[in-house]
Structure 1
Amino acid sequence: MTTDTGEVGERRLSLPAWRDIGHGAQRQGILLAFIVFLILFSLFSDRFASWDNASTVFRQVSIIGTIALGVTIVVIGGNLDLSVGSMLSFSTVMVVDLHDKIGPAPAMAITLVATLAIGCVNGILVGFLKLNSLIVTLGMLSAIQGLTLIYSGGQNVDITDQEATWFAFFGRDFVLGIAVPTWIFLGLAVVFHIVLTRTAYGRRVFAVGGNKTAAAFSGIRRARVVFSTYVISSFTVFCAALILGSRVMGSQNNVGQGYELLVLAGVILGGTSLLGGSGSVIKTVIGVLILGFIQNGLLLMGYQYYAQWLVTWVVIILAVWLDVASQRGRLFTTTA
């Protein structure tokens, strides 16, 4: 009798356990899919699982990842920033063009101020004037690209003496065997993670993105918080421009075209909700790495470049689906 009761108890206890496993798999579906991709790519390519290949992927995603860190903060605050691609073009062209004219350090300083000024414009329009962030940043995407063409006169720019300048440090050098772009990307990720999780400012960003009304009644000045998120986003674009400009030692006028979509894909894959109030910088790093390793694996397997876009689309749809499913508590809905 006692044995039967014990068996029933074990069965009853096992049901919640299985549900917990199911919910855990649902919440971590993208991570599980990533592991499956890694295993499959490792089976089809001997080079995929090597340290050299992994370090190459980290270096390649550093530009997208660095920008994605700032965009994550914007999205957690309840807004979007689609202007980062054109902003990257502008910043890269400016810092490279000014390099030979006034030197690397002054060029970096002026580019930083100009890039932050663009972020301030976005912040004022969205934060203080309360305009729709999608419309504002989409319009800024075109405006900044036009500004880039006006500044450069439609000409590509290059650094003349590429071997003699220390500017190459940001994109080409290594520290302790790890590429400097990787250090910049991961270093900023750690800083922003601490800011979001350990400071009052981070709590205000989550509050503003999660519930604007409650944040207002709590005394949080929403306009200032939103403004600051766009300034942070523009700062990460500046850092990415340093990496890109010093790696290539030149720049095309449209070098940042399409980056906004890849950045947003990495943010979404990291689980940051487009509705605001939810997200993590560390998970954004994982999301960016998922994109990087998937694209790298496809190239090593001999697939054409356009295959990356198709697979990226599938992964993004899967990520959004799992994000919505985690909020409503089930994978499918039966209501119309």
Structure 2
Amino acid sequence: MAQSHLKAVGEILAKHGILVAFILFMIAFALLNPRFINSDNLLGVVRSSAILGVMAIGVTFVVVSGNLDLSVGSMMSFSTIVVLDLHDKLGPLLGIPAMFAMTMALGALIGFLVGYLKLNSLIVTLGMLSAIHGLTLTYSGGKNMDIADKDGTWFGFFGQGELLGVPVPILMFALLAAGLTLVLSKTPFGRKVYAVGGNGVAAIFSGIPRARIVFYCYLISSFCVAMAGLIQASRSLGSQNTVGQGLELQVLAAVILGGASLLGGSGTIFKTVIGVLILGFIQNGLLLVGLEFYVQYIVTWVIIILAVWLDIAAKRGQLWSPIA
């Protein structure tokens, strides 16, 4: 009987190890500081995590397909600067779709290079990180961007507004997560993404258009980046031209923390969202505990490694690798 219970617990941990780790972190921080579970604090953390989360959802498609995207940080800077500039030149009704089109054009270029030309995604996106950063600086003339008439625009709704008492960034994050969860888990396209990431050669021989699937994954990622840029620009109605610098590593950390494999073929939107929230609540919890910001970097790294280790250990049924 005891063995059957242990087996059942092991199966739960194998499927939901990262979720269990998230719950344990939440309980630990709540015990250390009761303010951690205050509704305003919880809502504030989710709201501040929305931009990272929106980007991570798109990158999940790329990682599941067996590729990487290190360009999302600089691409977010580009989309933020562009939409702020076009807001004043064209107005928000034309500026927003124009920004989405320009950002997705960059995603299409990356998708073409990785998907159709079969170039290494790490090299391509690492190069695009620098190229898009240079493009952003060129577009802005090296200057930060601000909306001229901040009081006379409805543009702030996306980053500052609320619907039924829920901040709009959280609603956008939740709706995007729900919609793309259905795409990845319930559609033929989603099954092809997993097949391409699991075994690209076998997928090709099965008649799956690998190049096209990879191309679409980068398009989805760039669409999500554009949405994140819209939220960022709308939040403050102004931005530095390096606002997304370094976010690509946080996004990738959230996706991997959520259980997606860098080798491709595994990962879910739901677990990516959990990974994003773990990062957000860890930083918030450490702040409330009173740790200096430079100590938080080290503790955050340790907690991330511990969470991933426990998740992998739960899946293989033991703490240490059987090969070691």
Fold equivalence (TM over 0.5) = yes
Tell me the CA shift for residue 27 of structure 1: 4.8
Tell me the CA shift for residue 319 of structure 1: 4.2
What residue number does 1:208 align with? 196
CA distance in structure 2 between the aligned counterparts of 1:326 and 1:223, rounded to whole angstroms: 34
Give 1:14-33 correspondences, 5 Å limit: 14-25=2-13, 27-33=15-21
For the pair 1:55 / 2:43, whether they are aligned, the reply is yes
For the pair 1:249 / 2:237, whether they are aligned, the reply is yes
CA contact (8 A) 1:209 1:275 kept: yes
Give 1:265-276 correspondences, 5 Å limit: 265-276=253-264
What residue number does 1:3 align with? none
Give 1:4-83 correspondences, 5 Å limit: 13-25=1-13, 27-83=15-71
Give 1:269-284 correspondences, 5 Å limit: 269-284=257-272
Letter in 1 for 2:253: A
SS in structure 1 at match of 2:156: helix
What residue number does 1:168 align with? 156
Tell me the CA shift for residue 330 of structure 1: 3.5
What residue number does 1:294 align with? 282
For the pair 1:158 / 2:143, whether they are aligned, the reply is no
CA distance in structure 2 between the aligned counterparts of 1:241 and 1:213, rounded to whole angstroms: 35
CA distance in structure 2 between the aligned counterparts of 1:193 and 1:112, rounded to whole angstroms: 21
For the pair 1:98 / 2:86, whether they are aligned, the reply is yes
* Inter-CA distance 201–26: structure 2 relative to 1 (3 Å threshold): closer
CA distance in structure 2 between the aligned counterparts of 1:283 and 1:216, rounded to whole angstroms: 28
SS in structure 1 at match of 2:35: coil
Tell me the CA shift for residue 230 of structure 1: 0.2
Tell me the CA shift for residue 326 of structure 1: 5.6
CA contact (8 A) 1:27 1:322 kept: no
Letter in 1 for 2:126: L
CA distance in structure 1 between the aligned counterparts of 2:58 and 2:239, rounded to whole angstroms: 22
CA distance in structure 1 between the aligned counterparts of 2:17 and 2:312, rounded to whole angstroms: 12
1:124 to 82, 87, 112: 112
* Inter-CA distance 26–198: structure 2 relative to 1 (3 Å threshold): closer
CA contact (8 A) 1:77 1:276 kept: yes
SS in structure 2 at match of 1:193: helix
2:134 to 146, 152, 156: 146
CA distance in structure 2 between the aligned counterparts of 1:274 and 1:325, rounded to whole angstroms: 17
Work out the percentage of aligned pairs sharing the same amino acid: 59
* Inter-CA distance 158–144: structure 2 relative to 1 (3 Å threshold): same
SS in structure 2 at match of 1:130: coil
CA contact (8 A) 2:14 2:315 kept: no
CA distance in structure 1 between the aligned counterparts of 2:322 and 2:190, rounded to whole angstroms: 37
For the pair 1:226 / 2:214, whether they are aligned, the reply is yes
SS in structure 2 at match of 1:192: helix
Tell me the CA shift for residue 269 of structure 1: 1.4
Tell me the CA shift for residue 328 of structure 1: 5.1
CA contact (8 A) 2:18 2:308 kept: no
* Inter-CA distance 42–323: structure 2 relative to 1 (3 Å threshold): closer
CA distance in structure 2 between the aligned counterparts of 1:157 and 1:77, rounded to whole angstroms: 35
* Inter-CA distance 321–39: structure 2 relative to 1 (3 Å threshold): closer
CA distance in structure 1 between the aligned counterparts of 2:257 and 2:315, rounded to whole angstroms: 15
1:318 to 300, 306, 312: 306
CA distance in structure 1 between the aligned counterparts of 2:250 and 2:124, rounded to whole angstroms: 19
SS in structure 1 at match of 2:66: coil
Measured against aligned partners, the alpha-carbon deviations of 1:211-261 in whole angstroms (never above 9, x if no partner) come to 112211210000000000000000000000010000011111110011111
Q: CA RMSD in A?
A: 1.7
For the pair 1:180 / 2:168, whether they are aligned, the reply is yes
CA distance in structure 1 between the aligned counterparts of 2:315 and 2:131, rounded to whole angstroms: 36
CA distance in structure 2 between the aligned counterparts of 1:41 and 1:325, rounded to whole angstroms: 23
SS in structure 2 at match of 1:162: coil
CA distance in structure 1 between the aligned counterparts of 2:12 and 2:170, rounded to whole angstroms: 30
How many residues align structurally? 324
Measured against aligned partners, the alpha-carbon deviations of 1:79-137 in whole angstroms (never above 9, x if no partner) come to 11010000000110111112112211221122111100100111011101111111111
Measured against aligned partners, the alpha-carbon deviations of 1:294-319 in whole angstroms (never above 9, x if no partner) come to 11111122222233322332233234
For the pair 1:330 / 2:294, whether they are aligned, the reply is no
Tell me the CA shift for residue 329 of structure 1: 5.0
Letter in 2 for 1:256: G
SS in structure 2 at match of 1:220: coil
Letter in 1 for 2:48: Q
TM (normalized to structure 2)?
0.95
